[in-house]
Amino acid sequence: MSERKYRDLREHIRLLEEKGLLIRVSREINKDTELHPLVRWQYRGGIAEKDRKAFFFENVIDAKGKKYDMPVVVGALAANPEIYCIGVGCRRDEIGEVWQKALTSSILPRKVEKARCQEVVITGDELDKEGNGTDRFPVPISTPGFDNAPYSTCSHWFTRDIETGVRNVGNYRGQMKGRRKIGVFPSGLGQDIVVHWEKCKARGVPLEAALVIGAPPAVSYAAVQKVPLGVDEIAIAGGLVGESIPVVKCKTVDIDVPADAEIVIEGKISIEYLEPEGPFGESHGYMHPRQINPYMEITCITHRKDAIYVSWISQVTPSESSVVKKVGYEPMFLNHLRNTCSIKTVKRVHLHEPLTNLRKFIIVQMDKPSESEVWRALFSATTFHQGVGKILVAVDMDIDPENIDAVMWAMCYRMKPHLDVQIVKGLEKGHAPPFSGASDSKDIVSLHDPADESALLVNAILKEPYPPISLPKKEYMENARKIWEELGLPELNPEPPWYGYSLGQWDKELEEEAERAVKGDHFANGDIQARLRVKA
């Protein structure tokens, strides 16, 4: 393989360690009950954003005591914005320019014949052996006490349009349902993977796919970005780093994947059946109810001999998954308003992150705009992406959009509700509760959202049962806090909510599934869901 200038994941990790941005944990850590809760404390424990770091777990076990020879890294891509910028190779104040260049000057990938991601190859009946399927990898449980299985989170799904051949890379969670089966949550209609699946279904052939874990950082940043349908995210990643990303063809499917990835799971996504998938603690801050979703039947697993498993911490924001989106989303949102919509008085877009998950509370900072420009900017902001923009506020240059107290001050003294508030109807709520008809585990939530949402200041008092708060249960967080203190990490100042609890939309069956998951019996949950499969 020819020389490259950009860093792969392990080179990135080494640089983080050199800069004091990585914590190595050598003591034994249970991936099912301790790993994510431990990292969670740096987001719910009053740790300043700049002080959040990547965690490298060297000694990982599961709930049944199984030891893994593969380390797990969490926070390595976006524990804080500095880490993100190191992954791209630029300063924070350059990120907007770098993203704009990547979008306008993308660089196509280049094919190679050999790749580190294929040093180990497992196919056929070998996949059925213990430790050769999904159980080969130390996949953490993200929300112990509520999740019904380990889920891949930093998981990039590669698929290809069967008609055009155009590749798509999207980041979607993957439920470990069995040694040779992974559920996929495409997170809504309109996603490229859904378009690809529908085209394959029309032709009567399964959708070939590859689940990539541990890609070079630039690929991960491109995978979560909102780009137009049909745009190749690998080419965008190339634009981010200024050079072509090497890719290699998979062993059993016609998909090209990053040659420098850590792990590749190949397979075919069924078009004949769908299965219940979830629940899972999502970034809107609640447990996302189970839905009928596709699943992939694994045909091959490849990985580096010394592979590193990568996990993102998500759920209640802020989290790694919100930072990895925010740093790229904000300049793209700004570009949409300033350039696509040509509103030059817009100077900054701030997506509020804590608890609201970037999508709902948006502050647009403007420099001496006319009244029509203000309204055009706010209306345009509601159309940037499905489910984005429920509360939108325009502020002057003297108001720090990151300081909500300052934003509230401007709202209290610089606007009159009867003159300065408008309602935009006909919107979709997008990736958020309430989840109609999800009162128990037998109810399946539809992917189809009605256009009954609006952009408005709203009463946020809980009015109906909601899923549990998507944080690990109290006992797991308390245990993780003891480990945190054992490790001599910075003093914690817990910020509520710092543990998960039910708000009514949780039943005995879901509780039992979560209990099985933390005991390592999540395959039993996959078997139960398999019996509930329905025709696609």
Per-residue model confidence as pLDDT tens for the chain (536 residues) = 456 788 999 999 999 999 999 999 999 999 999 999 999 999 999 999 999 999 999 999 999 999 999 999 999 999 999 999 999 999 988 988 998 889 889 999 999 999 999 999 999 999 999 999 999 999 999 999 999 999 999 999 999 999 999 899 999 999 999 999 999 998 765 588 999 999 999 999 999 999 999 999 999 999 988 777 778 999 999 999 999 999 999 999 999 999 999 999 999 999 999 999 999 988 888 898 888 999 999 999 999 999 999 999 988 888 888 888 888 888 888 988 999 999 999 999 999 888 888 778 999 988 988 988 888 888 888 887 776 778 999 988 888 889 888 888 788 778 888 888 888 887 776 666 667 655 555 554 455 566 767 665 433 335 477 789 888 999 999 999 999 999 999 999 897 678 898 978 899 999 999 999 999 999 999 999 999 999 98
Q: What is the DSSP string of 196-210?
A: HHHHHHHHT-PEEEE
Spatial separation of the C-alpha atoms in residues 177 and 277, rounded to whole Å: 9
Spatial separation of the C-alpha atoms in residues 403 and 348, rounded to whole Å: 14
Spatial separation of the C-alpha atoms in residues 180 and 220, rounded to whole Å: 24
- Cα angle, residue 417 at apex, residues 411 and 418 outer, rounded to 5°: 160
Q: Give the number of C-alpha atoms closer than 13 A to the C-alpha of residue 349, restricted to the C-beta side.
A: 32
Q: 261 in helix, strand or coil?
A: coil
Q: Are 107 and 235 in contact (CB under 8 A)?
A: yes
Residue partners of 162: CB distance under 8 A and separation at least 6: 196, 199, 200, 203, 205, 207
Residue type, 283: S
Per-residue pLDDT, 448: 56
Q: Are 255 and 511 in contact (CB under 8 A)?
A: no
Instruction: Name the burial class of residue 513, with classes exposed (0-12), middle (13-18) and buried (19+) by CB atoms within 10 angstroms of its CB.
Output: buried
Per-residue pLDDT, 1: 47
Q: 169 in helix, strand or coil?
A: strand
- Per DSSP, the chain holds a count of helices (H) and strands (E) of 14, 28
Spatial separation of the C-alpha atoms in residues 279 and 286, rounded to whole Å: 10
Spatial separation of the C-alpha atoms in residues 401 and 399, rounded to whole Å: 6
Angle between helices 508-518 and 522-530 (to 10 degrees): 140
Structure tokens that stand for 289 in this block: 């109810």
Q: 123 in helix, strand or coil?
A: strand
Per-residue pLDDT, 458: 35
Task: For CA atoms 170, 176, 177, 180, give the dihedral sign.
Answer: positive
Q: Can you give the pTM of this predicted structure?
A: 0.82
- Cα angle, residue 470 at apex, residues 511 and 45 outer, rounded to 5°: 125
Structure tokens that stand for 257 in this block: 């994947």
Q: What is the DSSP string of 54-82?
A: EEEESSEE-TT--B-SS-EEESTTTSSHH
Q: 277 in helix, strand or coil?
A: strand
Q: Are 248 and 112 in contact (CB under 8 A)?
A: yes
CA 531 distance to own-chain centroid: 28
Furthest C-alpha separation in the chain: 69
Cα separation values, 12 from 15, 239, 328, 391, Å? 5, 18, 18, 37
Residue partners of 24: CB distance under 8 A and separation at least 6: 17, 56, 58
Per-residue pLDDT, 188: 62
Domain 9-315 has CATH 2.30.110.10: yes
160-165's contacts with Cβ under 8 Å and 24+ in sequence apart are 160/196, 160/208, 160/254, 160/255, 161/192, 161/195, 161/196, 161/199, 161/230, 162/196, 162/199, 162/200, 162/203, 162/205, 162/207, 163/199, 164/230
Per-residue pLDDT, 459: 36
Look at residues 254, 256, 233 and name the one whose alpha carbon lies nearest to residue 246: 256
Look at residues 173, 217, 432, 517 and name the one whose alpha carbon lies nearest to residue 313: 173
Q: What is the DSSP string of 398-457?
A: TS-TT-HHHHHHHHHHS--HHHH---EEEE---S-S--TT-SSTT--B-SPPPS-EEES-
Judging by DSSP bridges, how do beta strands 29-30 and 287-288 pair with one another?
A: unpaired
Q: 264 in helix, strand or coil?
A: strand
Spatial separation of the C-alpha atoms in residues 194 and 111, rounded to whole Å: 26
What are φ and ψ of residue 182, in 5° steps? -130, 130
Per-residue pLDDT, 226: 77
CA 334 distance to own-chain centroid: 22
Spatial separation of the C-alpha atoms in residues 335 and 95, rounded to whole Å: 12
